[in-house]
């Protein structure tokens, strides 16, 4: 079946460095790709999304890159801070046909930021 | 997200017991979802509801049932709990016609343990 997965389960960085979290997806028909952040004891929180017809989208300190040729998605966090420590999930969304816009989540990457 | 609340936050129950998890939202969203999260895995969809009269099965609906009592309330029931239903359960909401990305707002989760 279709799936969304992550290359690396953990990532450790120093405060102030840039972080890159990667994700591979398999459903080329997905309309949107989304990144969520989940802090300990909390539900996932929307960070940023990108439509399938885009290659890059920037937010506040975050950039998402989409490479449809190799079905790869990445989240870049600039000047990583200790508060960025969390589990990051990628998800893909297909809104076509009778679909409600189902989200398929990847496994998650644990980001640890060291002071 | 304080706009989506879940009760209880933690529950320990025995095999064979009936359990109900409740979700309430003040976001005014029509769409509501129940997910479960297991260690090392992403979120998997159990049930979803587009509006009060609409209920749909997700990926892993076996052993679960839901009730949409009102636009703001969506309950998940385990009719006869079993140990492999031990997991973290999340409720989420989204706007109608959310063909765009993101847009799912998650509650804080309910940690359920079945002994």
pLDDT of residue A95: 66
Cβ pair B98:A44 closer than 8 A: no
Interface subset of A 87-106, CB within 8 angstroms of B: 89, 91, 93, 95, 100-103, 105-106
Summarize pLDDT for B25-40 with one digit per residue, the tens: 998 888 899 999 987 7
Gap from B80 CA to chain A (nearest CA, Å): 26
> Which pair of tokens denotes residue A76?
């870049």
Picking from A72, A27, A45, A104, the residue whose alpha carbon sits closest to that of residue B42 is A104
Summarize pLDDT for A71-97 with one digit per residue, the tens: 999 999 999 999 999 999 999 887 665
Query: Residue B78 pLDDT > 70, yes or no?
Result: yes
**A86 - beta bridge partners?**
A111
Interface subset of A 2-41, CB within 8 angstroms of B: 4, 9, 31-34, 41
3-class state of residue A83 by DSSP:
helix
Name the residue with higher pLDDT: A65 or A100. Answer: A65
Taking the CB of residue A112, how many other CB atoms lie within 10 A of it? 14
């Amino acid at each position: 079946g279709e799936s969304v997965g992550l290359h690396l389960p953990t990532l450790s960085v120093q405060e102030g460095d840039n972080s890159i979290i990667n994700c591979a997806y398999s459903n080329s028909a997905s309309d949107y790709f989304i990144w969520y952040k989940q802090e300990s004891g909390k539900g996932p929180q929307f960070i940023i999304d990108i439509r399938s017809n885009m290659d890059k989208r920037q937010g506040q300190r975050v950039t998402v890159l989409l490479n449809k040729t190799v079905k790869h998605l990445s989240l870049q966090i600039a000047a990583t801070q200790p508060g960025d420590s969390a589990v990051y999930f990628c998800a893909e969304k297909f809104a076509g046909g009778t679909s409600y816009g189902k989200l398929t989540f990847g496994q998650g990457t644990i980001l640890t930021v060291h002071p | 997200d304080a706009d989506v609340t879940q009760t209880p936050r933690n529950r320990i129950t025995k095999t064979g017991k009936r359990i109900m998890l409740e979700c309430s939202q003040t976001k005014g969203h029509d769409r509501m979802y129940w997910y479960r999260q297991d260690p090392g895995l992403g979120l998997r969809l159990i049930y979803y509801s587009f509006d009060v009269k609409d209920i749909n099965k997700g990926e892993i609906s076996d052993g679960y049932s839901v009730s949409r009592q009102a636009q703001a309330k969506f309950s998940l029931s385990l009719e006869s709990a079993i140990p492999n239903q031990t997991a973290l359960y999340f409720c989420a909401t989204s706007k109608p016609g959310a063909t765009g990305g993101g847009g799912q707002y998650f509650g804080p989760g309910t940690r359920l343990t079945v002994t």
